Each structure stands twice: as C-alpha cells, then as structure tokens.
Amino acid sequence: MIPRFPTACLTGGTPVIYGDGEQARDFTYIDDVVQANVLAMNAQESAFGLVLNAGGGREPTTVNRLLELVAEHAGASPAPRYEPAREGDIRRSEADVSLARELLGYHPDVAIDESVGRTVEWFAARGG
C-alpha cells in the first residue's frame, strides 16, 4: 500500500486494494520506529533479550481509510480497483507497545494523518 497509494494518487494511477479494504493495520511512521530503536540501543539490562513491539500504539486504520487519507493529502479522488484478497492476509494487525512503553519509555508521536501527510509530501517531492 505504501508506496503504491501515494504513487497512484500523485500520478493519476489506479490504487489497488486487495479484499474489501476493511482489513486494519497499525501503520507506524518511520520516525517512531527510529525512536524505538534508539531507545532500545540505550535500554537497561531488564529489556535485554525481550521482544518489544514498535508500532503506532493506537486503533488500527483500515486500508480504505488509509487510501482516503492519502488521496486527501495528494489532492486526488481516485477510484480504487478491488482485487481478491491475498491468501494468508489477516483482517487486523495491532502492535501492543505496552512493554516498549514500560521498559524503554517508547511513546509513538506521529499520528496517522500526519504520517500520511509527510509520506505524500516525500513522494510528491520526488515526482510521485
């Protein structure tokens, strides 16, 4: 979806959504992932060897809503093409960041709307 949605919206293409688009994901902006990694580099020994999630830590966003946000930021009104769902695709994915909050002080800062805006801007600056 990313980078396909911004590219399609910025170049007049047709975004493709697999399934009904109501699958939900915990989309996370790269700055928040970098924050988690920097915090992990400096973690106390109590965090060593543990698996910690770096995610948005908020309600997952549907694929349909993600496309709406991308289109708004791109100033586009695309008509997506819906294709059959891909085998093995899950309906909902949500990162539990509570352990990362507790052990690292991780707090994702970039909301979905802002992250989509930044992403569309990045793609637009590079010609879509």
Residue pair 125/11 in contact (Cβ under 8 Å)? The answer is no
pLDDT in tens, 34-57: 999 999 999 999 999 999 999 998
- pLDDT-above-90 percentage for the chain: 94
- pLDDT computed for residue 126 by the predictor: 92
Of 3.40.50.1820, 3.20.20.140, 3.40.50.10490, 3.90.25.10, which CATH number belongs to 4-123?
Answer: 3.90.25.10
- pLDDT computed for residue 20 by the predictor: 97
For the entire predicted model, the pTM comes to 0.90
Average pLDDT over residues 7-23: 97
Band of residue 1 on the pLDDT scale cut at 50, 70, 90? low
- pLDDT-above-70 percentage for the chain: 99
Dihedral sign, Cα of residue 57, residue 109, residue 4, residue 17:
positive
Neighbours of 8 (CB within 10 A): 23
- pLDDT computed for residue 2 by the predictor: 81
Inter-CA distances, 101 with 11, 18, 93, Å:
39, 33, 19
The domains of the chain are located at 4-123
For residue 128, is pLDDT > 90? no
Inter-CA distances, 120 with 56, 71, 85, 105, Å:
18, 9, 25, 29
